[in-house]
Structure formats: structure tokens, C-alpha cells
Structure 1
Amino acid sequence: MPLIFTLIWNALLIAQWIVLAQALMSWLINFQVLNIRQPLVYQLWSFLGRILEPVYAPIRRMLPSMSGVDFSPLVVLIGIMVLQQLLPHNQMAFY
């Protein structure tokens, strides 16, 4: 396998886990399992927000308002999964 293919594949896996971690953390914060006033929770939440907000912002502008429900993480996850499906089928382009 070429190095660039492996790097792209691993970057997609890492991005997928980061989006899932942020989504799970948002649920835990909304259900008051995690407290945003705790320094470690706040730092992690802030870090994930700084990483993912540039990805979510254009998607939020395109999606209609859904009464407070944010579907941008779901759209990003679907996009990552589509790329993960397309990559192996186009592997020969990396040679």
C-alpha cells in the first residue's frame, strides 16, 4: 500500500473518532453528566470545538434550522464514511 493512501486512511479514522468524541461529550454535557466548569472538561471541550468548528460552520450554513438540533456532526460522519468507501476502490490512483 502506498504511504499517501495509508496517511489519508489514518487521517479519516482519526477524524471520525474526534467527531464521535465531540458528539458524545456534547450529549454528556447536555444531560449534566459532565460539568463544563471543571477545568479538564472545559479544556477538552474547547479544544474539540476549535478543531471541528471550521468543519461544522459551512455545513451549518447549508442545513436548514432544525429547532436547536445540530446535524452537522452527522453530515461530517457520513462524509467520512463515504470517503472511506471510495478510497479502497480508487487505490490504484495512488500508485
Structure 2
Amino acid sequence: MRAILDIILIALNLYTWVVILGAILSWLIAFGVVNMRNDFVRSAWNVFLALTEPFLRPIRNMLPNTGGIDLSPIVLLLAVMLVERIIVYYIYPYVF
């Protein structure tokens, strides 16, 4: 059981980095630092959208409109951290 929980924790940690890198890439695209006409940038953006958008879209629908600021990645990161803490502090110590 510990191995499964370790795999879940590693996956959550990797997903945290995917959300952070997706947010940074969206800023770089929005400010024109990277060009969406580049094949690598477009494919990387599509990968980040495919991995994060199913979780970010419902959060965006629940949050109030804040203009040009998207707070949904922060809420998603907080939710991922909450799940990690629940696993580490409540489930993981009791596994024998």
C-alpha cells in the first residue's frame, strides 16, 4: 500500500510542476515572448492544455470574474497541496 501512496504522491508532485509550467507558458504566449506559430511551442501548449484544462475549467466556472487575472491555477495548486497533505498526514502513517 505504501508503494501505491508513494506513486500517487509523485504523480501529484509532477502535476504541480505541470500546472506551474503551463501558467508560465501562458504568460510567455500572452506577452509575446514565444510565438505560437512555432511547432514546438504549439505542441507544448497543446500538451499543457490537455493536462490542465479538465481541472482548470470547472474552477474557472466557479470563481468570480477578476478581469485579466486567472486565479484558477492557484486554486488548483492549493487543492493538489491539500490532497498531498491529507495523504501524508492522515492516510500514510496508518499504512502498515
Indicate whether 1:67 and 2:67 are aligned: yes
Q: Is the 8 A contact 1:2 1:94 kept in 2?
A: yes
Report the counterpart of residue 57 of structure 1 in structure 2. 57
TM score, norm. by length of structure 1: 0.90
Identical amino acids, percent of aligned pairs: 35
Q: Is the 8 A contact 1:16 1:77 kept in 2?
A: yes
Deviates more, 1:77-86 or 1:20-29: 77-86
Deviations 1:5-55, CA, capped at 9 Å, x for gaps: 101101111110100110111111112111111010001001111121110
RMSD: 1.5
Q: Is the 8 A contact 1:19 1:52 kept in 2?
A: yes
Q: Where does 1:33-44 land on structure 2 (aligned, <5 Å)?
A: 33-44=33-44
Q: Is the 8 A contact 1:60 1:72 kept in 2?
A: yes
Deviates more, 1:80-89 or 1:54-63: 80-89
Structure 2 residues not aligned, in runs of 5+ = none
Aligned residues: 95
Q: Distance in 2 between matches of 1:93 and 1:41?
A: 44
Moved over 3 A (4+): 92-95
Q: Distance in 1 between matches of 2:7 and 2:95?
A: 11
Q: Is the 8 A contact 1:5 1:94 kept in 2?
A: no
Q: Distance in 2 between matches of 1:34 and 1:12?
A: 28
2:31 partner amino acid: F
1:85 partner amino acid: R
Structure 1 residues not aligned, in runs of 5+ = none
Q: Is the 8 A contact 1:22 1:48 kept in 2?
A: yes
Deviations 1:33-85, CA, capped at 9 Å, x for gaps: 11111010001001111121110111011101111221111101111112222
